[in-house]
Amino acid sequence: MMRDHYVFSNGALKRKHNTIYYINQDGQQKPLPVEKIRNLHVFGEVEFNTKLLNYLSQYDICVHVYNYYGFYAGTYYPREKSVSGFLLVNQAEHYTHKYKRLYLAHSFMQGAVHHMLRNLRRHKEQTAEAVKIIEKELFEMQTCTDISSLMGKEGQIRKSYYQAFNKILKQDIGFEKREKHPPRDPLNAMISFGNSLMYQIVLSEIYRTTLNPTVSYLHEPSTKRFSLCLDLAEIFKPLIVDPIIFSLINKRSITKKHFEYLEGEICFLNEEGKKRFIRAWEERLKSSVMHRALKRKTSYRYLIRLECYKLIKHLIGDDVYKPLKAWW
The Cα-based distances of 83 to 79, 89, 206, 209, 222 in angstroms read 10, 12, 11, 8, 21
3-state SS assignment for residue 4: strand
Task: State how far the Cα of 302 lies from the Cα of 305, in Å rounded to an integer.
Answer: 5
Task: State how far the Cα of 99 lies from the Cα of 146, in Å rounded to an integer.
Answer: 9
Q: Which amino acid is at 59?
A: Y
Q: Which domains are seen in the chain, by residue range? A: 3-76 (3.100.10.20), 91-315 (1.20.120.920)
Q: Round the CA-based radius of gyration of the chain to a whole number and report it.
A: 20
Dihedral of alpha carbons 48, 51, 55, 58, sign: positive
On whether 181 is known to bind a ligand per the annotation, the reply is no
3-state SS assignment for residue 199: helix
pLDDT < 50 regions, the chain: none
Q: Using one digit for the tens of pLDDT, what is the confidence trace for 219-230?
A: 999 766 799 999
Q: What is the DSSP letter of 221?
A: P
Q: Does pTM top 0.95 for this prediction?
A: no
- Phi/psi zone of residue 33: left (φ > 0), alpha (ψ -120 to 50 degrees), beta? beta
Q: Residue 124 has what pLDDT?
A: 87
Q: Residue 5 has what pLDDT?
A: 93
What is the H or E stretch that residue 185 is in?
none
The Cα-based distances of 315 to 60, 76, 212, 265, 310 in angstroms read 25, 27, 12, 44, 9
Q: Residue 121 has what pLDDT?
A: 96
The Cα-based distances of 34 to 2, 26, 28, 38 in angstroms read 10, 23, 18, 8
66 close to 73: Cβ distance less than 8 angstroms? yes
Q: Residue 62 has what pLDDT?
A: 92
The Cα-based distances of 247 to 158, 183, 270 in angstroms read 20, 20, 18
